[in-house]
Every structure is written in structure tokens, then in C-alpha cells.
Homo-oligomer: A and B are copies of this chain.
Amino acid sequence: MAYTVGQVARVAGVTVRTLHHYDEIGLLSPSGRTSAGYRRYDDADLQRLQLVLYYRELGFPLEEITAIIDDPAADPAAHLRRQHELLTVRLKRLQEMVAAIEFAMEASKMNIQLTPEERFEVFGDFSPEEHEAEAERRWGDTDAYRESNRRASRYGKEDWLRIKAENEDWGRRIVALMTSGAPADSPEAMELAEEHRQLISRWFYECSYEVQTGLADMYLADERFTAYYENIAAGLAGYLHEAIHANAISRA
């Protein structure tokens, strides 16, 4: 029931270096050594390692893990509560960032100019108050950035032309359908909503039904997006919005 570092590393899925590190900082010292100085881990050491990895996976710093494990009076439940709070905060933050990045991509796709505030809106604590009016002037001109936005890309020129063509083709078809009088929740309209989603998924990012309905809401809530679609055909923004929602519901 004694194991070498290498054996422990293999079964626990960590590196030898990690075990050395845990030994160094006193988080997990093997219960013995051979005459040659080799570390010898026994079953109790493995138990302790399991606990260490458990807390580590939940995001606790090693020093705190030492305290939790070594202090018999410490309450694991209390730590879990605190960690739950920390994780949910991080989770919310990440969700906002993902939403912001989707917004940015959607805007760049339509060549919509983001205001500096929007580019920064992902920063919860930024822009306190002391420089509301100033900030506008200061961060005002971002032409250079937007310009570079339109230039070279991971996609070659051909790809862009193809994306543009697909998009315009889709646009023509949905306009035709709308003007033909087909309702927004007709199978044809829903099919075009589905195409819209797959177009984004194929060329830009994984677009779930949930994300897509979020986009649809934004098309109505943000007048620049509304303008983009209304510019193609009057009433298109609302029509697309309804079709996307109808499609999402029917697929659920």
C-alpha cells in the first residue's frame, strides 16, 4: 500500500511536479521516505490528495485548502456557501461578456458603429461618473479601429463575397415572403428564421435558439439594428422578430 510519486501522479491525474509542489508547501507531504530519499505515499495520503483535488477543482486557493483540511473545526459547508457565491458572480460576469461579444460581432457584421460606451459596457465598474461628458469627446473617434475591422480577415475575400451573397439571397427571400402576405409564424417564415440562425452558426459563432431570440429582441430594442432591417424593407424587423420567436418555440 505504498506508492511512488509517479504512481500517485498517474492515478490521480496530476503531474509529479504538482506533488513535489504540494510537498514543498506542506499541503500534502508523503508519510514516509525510502532510504534513498524517495517519497512514499500511503493510502491515507491518497485520501488527503482526493480532498485537496476536490477543493482545488472548486476553485479554492491551495493555502485555503490547507486550512480547511487541517482545521477540524472548519466548516466545509460554510466554505461551499462562500464558494458558491464567488462562482455565481463569476458566472454572471462571464455571461455578460459572452453577450457583449455576441453583440459586438452582430454589430460588426452589419457595419453598425458602436458607441464607446457600448464597447465598454462589458466593464461593470468602468466609467464611474467623474468623466461622463468628457469620456465622449475623449473616446470619440474610432474610425481607425472600425476601418481595420473591414480589412483583412481569417476569411479570404472569396469567403466574404460568399457570406455576403448568402446573406443577400436570404434577405431577398424573406422580403419576398413578407410582401407575399405570408404570416410570420408560417412554416416558410420559420424556415427562413432557421436559416438565419444557421447562417450565423456557420460563419460566426454557435447560435442557439436562446441566443437567436436574444438577437431578435435586440433587433427591435436597438434602433440601429431596427434601422438596418427596416432599410431593407419596411416592417422586416418586426417580421423577422416574430418569425424567430415562432421558430424557436416550435423547435423547443
| Binary contact track A72-94/B, C-beta < 8 Å → 1, others 0 | 11111110110111011011001
B205 touches A81 (CB 8 A): yes
Could you tell me the distance between the alpha carbons of A148 and B48 in the complex, rounded to whole angstroms?
14
* Contact of A153 with B75 in the complex, beta carbons under 8 Å: yes
A23 CB, nearest partner CB in chain B, Å: 20
Q: Is A204 on the interface with B (CB-CB < 8 A)?
A: yes
Chain B contacts of A76 at CB under 8 A? 108, 145, 148-149
Q: Which single member of B74, B125, B126, B139 contacts A46 (CB below 8 Å)?
A: B139
A230 at interface (Cβ–Cβ under 8 A)? no
CA A105 – CA B75 in complex, angstroms? 12
A92 to B84, CA, bound (A): 15
Residue of B nearest to A14 (CB): B126
Neighbour of A154 across the interface among B75, B105, B108, CB < 8 A: B75
Q: Tell me the interface secondary structure of chain A in the complex.
A: helix
Contact B50 A119 (CB under 8 A): yes
Interface size class of A (residues with CB under 8 A): 35 or more
Residues 133-164 of A, flagged 1 when their CB comes within 8 A of B and 0 if not, give: 01100110110110011011111000000000
Q: How many Å from the CB of A87 to the closest CB on chain B?
A: 5
Given B13, B51, B91, which contacts A95 in the complex, CB threshold below 8 Å? B91
Residue A6 at the chain B interface, CB threshold 8 Å: no
Known contacts A75-B155, A80-B108, then 17 further A-B pairs from the complex at CB < 8 Å, ordered by chain A residue:
A11-B138, A46-B138, A47-B139, A47-B142, A53-B123, A53-B126, A57-B122, A76-B108, A76-B145, A80-B105, A81-B105, A81-B205, A84-B98, A84-B205, A85-B206, A87-B94, A91-B94
